[in-house]
Amino acid sequence: MLVVFSACKRNKTKTGSNNHGKQHSNHLVDKVIETARSYTGVPYHFGGINRLGMDCSGLLFTSFKDNGIDIPRPSKDQALFGEEVRLVNLKPGDWLFFTDKEGNSKIVHVGMVTEVRGEEDVRFINASNKLGVVEDQLYIKYWQKVFIKAVRPKCFAN
C-alpha cells in the first residue's frame, strides 16, 4: 500500500485548525524542538513512543504528534517526507538520516537539527540506543561517516 503525505497534517483536536505549508512558522519549529528536548534522558526502546522509552523515529513522531502534527512513523518513510537539503543549508527542524556503518545506504537512524551555530557546528537531537535521547554534534567523525542525507520536512518548507 502506497501512502502519500501532502503536508504535515495538523490534528484538529489539538489545534482547532488545519494549517499547511507556509503557514507553519519558526514558532512551530521552536515548539517541536522544545518538545523533543523535553524527552532528553528518556531511555532507548525499539518501537517506543513515550517517556518509558523511545527510538529515533519515535522521538520525531512523538514530538510532532505532541504539537498536533501527523508525520510518518518509520524513519524510511520520514526520509521521503520533504525535500532533500544540503548540509550548508541546514536549519533547525531539518531531519538528518544515517546508516549503521560506513558504506551502507540503508537508513537506520534519524535525528532533528536543534541548532545551527556555524558552518560545521550543528547540533541535533536523537534517540541513541546506548544513551537514550540526547543532543549530539553532527560534525564529529562518527556521524559524518554514517550520514546519508538531510531533509526539510514538508511542514517546515518555505
**59-91 tens-digit pLDDT:** 999 999 999 999 999 999 999 999 999 999 999
9 pLDDT band, cuts 50/70/90, is: low
Number of H helices, E strands in the chain: 5, 10
Per-domain residue ranges for the chain? 20-156
The conformational region for residue 8 under phi > 0 = left, psi -120 to 50 = alpha, else beta, is beta
Q: Tally Cβ neighbours within 10 Å of residue 154.
A: 18
Distance set, CA 77 to CA 54, 71, 128 (Å): 17, 9, 19
C-alpha cell at 146: 554514517
In CATH terms, the superfamily for domain 20-156 is endopeptidase domain like (from Nostoc punctiforme) (3.90.1720.10)
> Which among 55, 65, 77 is positioned nearest to 1, based on CA atoms?
77
Residue type, 125: I
Rounded to two decimals, what is the model's pTM? Answer: 0.86
**Hey, what's the cell of 49?**
513512543
